[in-house]
């Protein structure tokens, strides 16, 4: 257990509810930047202008698309070059952060990220691009934002259903970090703390959407989950969800929220130490039982068929996932296993069926 290497990422992280504009101005100044490109969707336009009012903005880029299509990335890169921007400020969820990363990947421009969801992309060196229905991901130090500004007030407009899905996406980062290909005891400790914070925060967000305490807990967890995930590497859950999102254009957070219990049910029996940590963080006798109790309490999405996935595409999805299976998964993964798992997730079947060998018809 204590024979490992762990690398911490060089990044400033600032938390402060109601202080996004001040913190952002400080960080852009710290970088010595004088020409700011802002990446934010039209839906973020009003608060983006408030948060960036004191910055020397030379271009506001609003073409933000889920899963970062390659052609969208190329247009954003061209805009950065034409405007001679010397820093990219991303404001929004994972799609905005992902587009900023695509710019940084080829230009080397520094990023200051201001998340408004719980995606966690802002704390990782992972980038993703989608081309011809296939989502490609990679790891590159250039895409890690130099600074991250967490302001829970910016998440107050995120509707409760999206808050739940986004928070469960963070939970998926934590759980995948328990058995990612490079996981170590530090990753597992961070992930366990992240799960505990999500167990505390997500029910508060549901019961008191305008309250800051729950959202602060979930933002804190989103950061911890992303740091753990970035170090541990992408595990089985994320390989499955990246294929589903890229190839079938499924919504990112909801896909993660739905698939998670099935991957947990599949892997947990083969990794007792991770299972104990997850169960303890969820304050439950078992990891799967604790996850399902939390999902029920917060009204989690239930089935892939509800978000546009066609069961007839399962075979194609299995083939694509099989080609990118991660090293070191707690148990071997076959095409048969993936087929059963996706059938269960598509229908919203009880995840406990994954631990048995009974066929899902």
pLDDT (tens digit, 9 = 90+) per residue, 114-168? Answer: 999 998 999 999 899 999 878 888 989 999 999 999 999 999 999 999 999 999 9
Rounded to 5 degrees, φ, ψ at 127 are -120, 160
pLDDT (tens digit, 9 = 90+) per residue, 216-261? Answer: 999 999 999 999 999 999 899 999 998 999 889 899 889 999 999 9
What percentage of the chain carries pLDDT values higher than 90?
A: 86
Of 289, 285, 305, give the one whose Cα is nearest residue 297. 289
- Alpha-carbon distance of 65 to 63, in angstroms, equals 6
Q: Please answer whether residues 112 and 145 qualify as being in contact, where contact means their C-beta atoms are separated by less than 8 angstroms.
A: yes
Domains of the chain listed by start with CATH number: 12-155 (3.40.50.1970), 160-355 (1.20.1090.10)
pLDDT (tens digit, 9 = 90+) per residue, 60-98? Answer: 999 999 889 999 999 999 999 999 999 999 999 999 999
- Alpha-carbon distance of 225 to 213, in angstroms, equals 18
Residue 360 clears pLDDT 50, i.e. is over it: no
Q: The pTM is what?
A: 0.90
Of 171, 352, 179, give the one whose Cα is nearest residue 273. 179
- Determine the longest span between alpha carbons in the chain, in angstroms: 62
pLDDT (tens digit, 9 = 90+) per residue, 177-227? Answer: 999 999 999 999 999 999 999 999 999 999 999 999 999 999 999 999 999
- Alpha-carbon distance of 280 to 282, in angstroms, equals 5
Residues in the chain: 361
- Could you tell me which residues are beta bridge partners of residue 263? none
Q: Please answer whether residues 91 and 132 qualify as being in contact, where contact means their C-beta atoms are separated by less than 8 angstroms.
A: no
User: What is the rounded end-to-end Cα distance, in angstroms, of the chain?
Assistant: 41
CA torsion 248→250→256→261, rounded to 10°?
-70
What percentage of the chain carries pLDDT values higher than 70?
A: 98
> Can you give the chain as a three-state secondary structure string?
CCCCCCCCCCCEEEECCCCHHHHHHHHHHHCCCCCEEEECCHHHHHHHHHHCCCCCEEEEECCCCCCCEHHHHHHHHHHHHHHCCCEEEEEECHHHHHHHHHHHHHHCCCEEEEECCCCCHHHCCEEEEEECCEEEEEECHHHCCCEEEECHHHHCCCCHHHHHHHHHHHHHHHHHHHCCCCCCHHHHHHHHHHHHHHHHHHHHHHHCCCCHHHHHHHHHHHHHHHHHHHHHCCCHHHHHHHHHHHHHCCCHHHHHHHHHHHHHHHHHHHCHHHHHHHHHHCCCCCHHHHHHHHHHHHCCCCCHHHHCCCHHHHHHHHHHHHCCCCCCCCCCCCHHHHHHHHHHHHHCCCHHHHHCCCCCC
């Amino acid at each position: 257990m204590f024979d490992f290497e762990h690398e911490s990422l060089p990044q400033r992280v600032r938390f402060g509810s109601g202080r996004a504009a001040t913190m952002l101005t400080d960080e852009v100044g710290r970088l010595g930047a004088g020409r700011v490109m802002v990446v934010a969707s039209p839906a973020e336009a009003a608060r983006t202008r408030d948060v960036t009012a004191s910055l020397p903005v030379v271009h506001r880029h609003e073409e933000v698309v889920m899963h970062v299509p390659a052609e969208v990335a190329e247009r954003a890169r061209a805009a950065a070059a034409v405007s001679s921007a010397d820093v990219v400020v991303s404001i929004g969820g994972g799609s905005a952060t992902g587009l900023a990363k695509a710019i940084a990947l080829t230009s080397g421009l520094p990023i200051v990220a201001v998340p408004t969801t719980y995606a966690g992309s802002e704390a990782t060196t992972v980038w993703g691009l989608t081309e011809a229905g296939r989502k490609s991901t990679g790891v590159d130090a250039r895409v890690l934002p130099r600074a991250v500004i967490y302001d829970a007030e910016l998440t107050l407009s995120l509707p409760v259903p999206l808050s739940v899905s986004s928070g469960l996406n963070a939970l998926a980062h934590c759980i995948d970090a328990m058995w990612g290909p490079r996981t170590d005891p530090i990753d597992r400790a961070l992930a366990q703390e992240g799960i505990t914070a999500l167990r505390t925060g997500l029910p508060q967000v549901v019961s008191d959407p305008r309250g800051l305490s729950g959202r602060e807990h979930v933002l804190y967890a989103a950061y911890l989950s992303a740091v753990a995930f970035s170090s541990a590497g992408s595990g089985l859950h994320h390989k499955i969800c990246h294929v589903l999102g890229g190839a079938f254009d499924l919504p990112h957070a909801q896909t993660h929220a739905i698939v998670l219990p099935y991957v947990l049910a599949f892997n947990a029996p083969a990794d007792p130490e991770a299972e104990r940590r997850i169960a303890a963080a969820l304050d439950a006798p078992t990891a799967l039982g604790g996850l399902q109790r939390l999902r029920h309490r917060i009204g989690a999405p239930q089935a892939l068929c509800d978000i546009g996935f066609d069961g007839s595409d399962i075979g194609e999805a299995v083939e694509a996932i099989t080609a990118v299976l991660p090293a070191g998964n707690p148990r071997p993964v076959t095409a048969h296993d993936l087929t059963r798992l996706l059938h269960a997730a598509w229908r919203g079947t009880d995840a406990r069926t994954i631990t048995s060998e009974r066929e899902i018809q």
